Amino acid sequence: MAHGTLTQLDLSKVKAAPGVVDVITFHEVPGHTDIGPVFPGDPIFVDQEISYAGQCLFAVAATSLQVARRAVKLANVSINEQPASLDPVAAAEREEFVRPTHVQTRGDWQQALDQAEQIIEGELFVGGQEHFYLEGQACVVHPTEDEGVIVHTSNQHPSETQKLVAEVLDIPFHAVTVEVRRMGGGFGGKETQASPWACIAAIIARRTGKTVRLRLPRSEDMRATGKRHPFHNRYRLAIDAEGVIQGGEITVIGDCGYSPDLSDAIVDRAMFHADNAYSLGDAQVVGHRAKTHTASNTAFRGFGGPQGMMIIEAAMDDIARKIGEDPLTIRKRNFYRDGREVTHYGQQVDQRQLLHTLVETLESDSEYWARRNAVSAFNATSPVIKKRPGTYPG
């Protein structure tokens, strides 16, 4: 269930199962129960509210992974299911956010739209993506002779894990040692979301006095951990007869999942990249951090930048189609240049000429126009191939 209230968690049969060493829930955590990396909102286990399908209710330590997995199935769980919010656009309209909305504005963007020769608008949905790191979430925790632990973890942020493990165990930071020998390609998925598993293993290691190994099977890893943020972006831009942007507005809506995690910075990055290489003129960019009942989305290579750039690149193509020009021509006309060198967030683009030089070099070296003309000629003369029903489209 994606959303609901936990009304019963009977683990008596789990604890009595052969080979089970320990079982812990929210109430067995000795220190902090919220392990949000920047802002609160990430409980180590469910207390009452269930916020996404796959959220952890409890953990079982046993003599083997197989024994633990069998024991988990003996739990008696009752949930009062509630309506789930799964649409980030609808969530934004209801003002359901994990963090406040940010706005970046330069000039009178509304006047630019009011006085526009032409207005073009569109929207784009950018889907999420699983990190699929080469090695899944895994850690080994050794209890030390004092109150501390040594944590071996596949992790992109070991110092953060040290802090969170210490807070969860209610011990000094110096009592926690975190070592990362290597990672199997984290891609952002082990920046914040490797810590919960180290915290769980550390609690059991301190309770039992035994070394604990925790490894998520891939299927559970994909259910329980966040992904690249899906985004819903839209634009409304004023353009002149040449397709040059005079101003307008862009809105980006990040699907953040149930908690903030790193979404504040990720949606900001999308906003900063909403112009990519192009001057927006007098413009406003709005960034919403929509709350949905899904696993909390997190860092991923690009950190919001790719999702932000997608909308203006789509707009370039839309403008080209609208005024009947080649997309490369429209892009070159809209590049930052002298007189149009300030971004929508107030930064001056000092090395703007390098962009023009780079694109001109690529345009020449790739023989862009010869290839473009050859493709156009082929498309104009190529016969239409009719497929018989049921045949493979290729």
Domains of the chain (ranges, CATH numbers): 4-81+132-224 (3.30.365.10), 88-129+228-366 (3.30.365.10)
Cα-Cα-Cα-Cα dihedral sign, residues 10, 13, 16, 20: negative
Check pLDDT > 80 for residue 388: no
Residues 245 and 316: their CA atoms lie apart, in Å, by 10
Residue pointed to by tokens 């020449």: 364
Whole-number CA gyration radius for the chain:
26
State how far the Cα of 170 lies from the Cα of 174, in Å rounded to an integer.
12
pLDDT at position 389: 55
Query: What is the per-residue pLDDT across 56-84, written as a single tens digit (0 to 9) for each?
Result: 999 999 999 999 999 999 999 999 999 99
C-alpha dihedral sign at 164, 169, 174, 176: negative
In this structure, the number of other CB atoms found within 10 A of the CB of residue 292 comes to 25
Residue 323 and residue 185: Cα distance in Å, rounded?
44
* Residue 391 clears pLDDT 70, i.e. is over it: no
pLDDT at 385: 58
* Phi, psi dihedrals of residue 6, rounded to the nearest 5°: -75, 115
Segment 11-53, tens digit of pLDDT: 999 999 999 999 999 999 999 999 999 999 999 999 999 999 9
pTM: 0.94
**Residue 394's pLDDT is what?**
41
Average pLDDT over residues 205-224: 96
Q: Structure tokens of 105? A: 């504005």
